[in-house]
Amino acid sequence: MKNNSFTVAVLGAGNIGSSVIERLLKLDNEIINLNLSKVLVSDKSKNRGFDKGLLTTDFNEILNDEKIDLVIEVLGGVEPGKDYIKALLENGKSVITANKDIIADCGSELIQIAQENNVCLYFEAAVAAGIPVLKPLIESLRGEELKRVAGIINGTSNYILTAMEEGSTYEDALQQAQELGYAEPDPTNDVEGIDAKFKAMILSLLCFGVSPSVDDVFTDGISNITKEDFDWAKRLNKTIKLVSQIDNGDDGFNARVYPVLVDSKHPLASIRGALNAVLVEGENINQLVFSGPGAGAAPTASAIIGDVLSACHQMVSSQTNWYPLRTLKSGNKEFKDVQSSWFIRLSVKDEPGVLATIAGIFGENNVSIESVIQEGRGDNAELVLVTHEAEENNLTSSIESISDLSSVSLVTSNIRVFI
Amino acid sequence: MKNNSFTVAVLGAGNIGSSVIERLLKLDNEIINLNLSKVLVSDKSKNRGFDKGLLTTDFNEILNDEKIDLVIEVLGGVEPGKDYIKALLENGKSVITANKDIIADCGSELIQIAQENNVCLYFEAAVAAGIPVLKPLIESLRGEELKRVAGIINGTSNYILTAMEEGSTYEDALQQAQELGYAEPDPTNDVEGIDAKFKAMILSLLCFGVSPSVDDVFTDGISNITKEDFDWAKRLNKTIKLVSQIDNGDDGFNARVYPVLVDSKHPLASIRGALNAVLVEGENINQLVFSGPGAGAAPTASAIIGDVLSACHQMVSSQTNWYPLRTLKSGNKEFKDVQSSWFIRLSVKDEPGVLATIAGIFGENNVSIESVIQEGRGDNAELVLVTHEAEENNLTSSIESISDLSSVSLVTSNIRVFI
């Protein structure tokens, strides 16, 4: 058993790293005896607001320092962080990382290495930054059989969608997000759902013990959502959110990321701006929602500090942390077999029999229609349909056949409805 | 170090106890080796759907059984549970309880006994039943300086208020809640804020390291809230919620329970029916919200099962659990010094100078007025005021002087506004 004093190193001193270092130095006096011994950087000459003697450019100085108990990885990107984490765990050091890319890529393997070496590996900040949700999922909800997890876990896209709900176009909202630093100059990762996909992969591992591959997770982004879609959503008392959804029902496991129409009274509808939320459903717990800041240096550093304290608590008794423990109820369910309800907007020629033909095609594909609204007349009428739940492949086939009709000039949009 | 097999006893086999026992028996095969060895009941002859050989009416059989590692207390009421818990902890057994009355009464003392005896004491179910919030507060947020905690933590009163928001009178809503089993035949504890007060006392201990006495926590219930208050709330884009609020600012600590007007876009406004929510604010985390089922046997049992697994995880390495660790920033702040904004309805005679007189009284007491609406004319006019933030004692003095005016026939209601 160790005494209550721990030696820590940090890999990286960027935006988040600096915030973590500032918090670590404060923590030392208040809660726990922490000795920050080394910080890995690429440039030692830069002034960083803390003792320059801590800086090193050589990872091996940290890896081979026997006094170091715990290393915080905040480098960003997959390499070299991934190799560093493996080497550290294998060398008997506990690791905390905020790096969703690495955990999505090889979280399961890293957890195994941590367990084999009896060290801790925490990554609370990798999903929903400042919201303590991974630890409650692994520990407090360990005995629950979860049925569904659905999250708004990309702050940038939620910021854009919230601005659009308030009347912005997609282009204006994106520009605003970029000006405020919420979106990168190249926003692809955020707006195309790739960041949300990585986080969904981590939640899949923790909630259901499954590590789906990047290709297994159907992913659709928000860049095709228009102001008109929001106008329609409002008419239907709904809004539009980018949701990472993971089901594990009797019919199998599926993880996916897509924009959905959410009822305005649903808890996810009230998650606005850069906030994140994770909704968890199970038979005994009904529905839990964890919400809070999904991005930013201060909340991310808070999650890392929480992990540091958890790791220290475990290290006192030389224990590894709680590993995810879930087994899959049934097998995987392909996205084509997922049950969805679609909201569909069609540009049609307003002529006799159009609706009958369209309804007929849905019927042939076993899709039933919940509601239809026609707006306008003549060659530019708009037909807005909401279907009942049906299999994705039946919905896709229907839309393919419908888009081939001469009376249908355009499938303006089809967005799934959150059920 | 113990191996991975644990022997458990349960005190009580009522509604929650039965649910816990059912879950424990399932857990045994799936997650951890648990041996349920004894269940304390008052009547051994009753058929309870599990092996009668487990039943005992003698607490000492459990207390003195050296094989028992862990005891779950679900008796309800303060006595004899309180003495039982003390005796068990002192005898080296870990304890899990759902009993808010006991933890509010002597949580701090029990935690100390648990630590001294190197055993675990968990009570996640004592606040917000099925929502994992106490463990995240103690562990994940251990490094945070919290500024405010505000919760909807009484499901019964929230059920009633939600029904009133939808148009019911208080009396009808209460009757409905009683018929559905949400409210007791004598609903005092729930509707007068006493249950919420006990939970606020527990949150005070965990979030700020303070154990306020029952008298220190200002407590007002919902039995005076009317349908007309809700009509007014709606006009102001607000709703009414019973909130347990704990501040720990530079000016001191205060815990209180009262009905408040909440803006309809605020996260607490969307917590409907018997749901609970706990909102936590701090400089680094901004605002976190944990929401979910606040009552019911299944969610309560889930919280207890989570605690069982946490306790077992700690017991493997003979560790006590994490104790609350917070120190008070400054001293206590009395309720009279708390800053509030009030919504006030007055029945007045519509005669020249009434408003000037009323506004003058507020002014003399350093209270400034945010808005005034007058409805009706003649002897039964209604004056509705919202004040800016002012000290509670100044607001109280103002209202006392105003109610003495001959032109004011009645102070119909005054409800605080959630800031």
Q: Do A299 and B285 make contact, defined as CB atoms within 8 angstroms?
A: yes
Q: Which CATH number fits domain A144-293: 3.40.1010.10, 3.40.50.12160, 3.30.450.40, 3.30.360.10?
A: 3.30.360.10
Lowest mean pLDDT among A278-282, A293-297, A393-397, B297-301: A293-297
Share of residues in chain B with pLDDT > 90 (%): 84
The minimal CB distance from A291 to the residues B288, B309, B316 is found for B288
Predicted confidence (pLDDT) per residue in B241-295, tens digit: 999 999 998 889 999 999 999 999 899 999 999 999 999 999 999 999 999 999 8
B325 contacts on A by Cβ (under 8 Å) = 31
**Cα A379 to Cα A147: distance, rounded to the nearest angstrom:** 46
Residues forming CATH 3.30.360.10 domain(s) in chain B: 134-291
Residue of B nearest to A298 (CA): B284
Domain B335-417 bears CATH identifier 3.40.50.720: no
**Cα B153 to Cα B32: distance, rounded to the nearest angstrom:** 31
- For residue B257, what are its two tokens? 């329970």
**Cα B366 to Cα B357: distance, rounded to the nearest angstrom:** 14
Residues forming CATH 3.30.360.10 domain(s) in chain A: 144-293
CA-closest candidate to residue B292, choices B103, B180, B178, B133: B133
A306 contacts on B by Cβ (under 8 Å) = 139-144
Predicted confidence (pLDDT) per residue in A261-302, tens digit: 999 989 999 999 999 999 999 999 999 999 999 989 999 999
- Tell me the average pLDDT of chain B: 93
pLDDT on residue B1: 38
**Cα B360 to Cα B356: distance, rounded to the nearest angstrom:** 6
Residues forming CATH 3.40.50.720 domain(s) in chain B: 5-122+297-316
**Cα A124 to Cα B285: distance, rounded to the nearest angstrom:** 13
What pLDDT band is residue A138 in, cutting at 50, 70 and 90? very high
Q: Is the pLDDT of residue B393 over 90?
A: yes
Mark which residues 193-212 of B lie under 8 Å from A by CB.
Answer: none
- For residue A106, what are its two tokens? 């090889």
Q: DSSP assignment of B69-93, as one string?
A: -EEEE---SSTTHHHHHHHHHHTT-
pLDDT on residue B314: 86
Q: Which residues contact A359 (CB under 8 A, 6 or more apart)?
A: A369
Residue of A nearest to B310 (CA): A139
**Cα A223 to Cα A160: distance, rounded to the nearest angstrom:** 10
Q: Is the pLDDT of residue B70 over 60?
A: yes
pLDDT on residue A1: 38
What pLDDT band is residue A317 in, cutting at 50, 70 and 90? confident
Residues forming CATH 3.30.70.260 domain(s) in chain B: 335-417
Give the domain B134-291 fold. Answer: Dihydrodipicolinate Reductase; domain 2 (3.30.360)
Where does B5-122+297-316 sit in CATH, by number? 3.40.50.720
Predicted confidence (pLDDT) per residue in A233-242, tens digit: 999 999 999 9
**Cα B123 to Cα B95: distance, rounded to the nearest angstrom:** 9
Share of residues in chain A with pLDDT > 70 (%): 97
CA distance A293 to chain B (A): 7
The answer to whether A155 faces chain B, any CB pair under 8 Å, is no
Count the helix, strand and coil residues of chain A and give each as a percent rounded to the nearest 5: 40, 25, 35
Whether residue B199 lies in the annotated active site? yes
pLDDT on residue A314: 86
- For residue A408, what are its two tokens? 């249908």
Q: Which residues contact B107 (CB under 8 A, 6 or more apart)?
A: B123, B201, B202, B205, B211
What pLDDT band is residue B320 in, cutting at 50, 70 and 90? confident
B281 contacts on A by Cβ (under 8 Å) = none
**Cα A257 to Cα A249: distance, rounded to the nearest angstrom:** 17
The answer to whether B298 faces chain A, any CB pair under 8 Å, is yes
**Cα A258 to Cα A241: distance, rounded to the nearest angstrom:** 8
Pick among A123, A134, A140, A166 to test the B interface (most B CBs inside 10 A) = A140
Helix or strand holding residue A293 (H, E) = strand A286-293
pLDDT on residue A30: 66
- Report, as residue numbers or ranges, the catalytic residues of A: 199
End-to-end CA distance of chain A: 50
CA distance A310 to chain B (A): 7
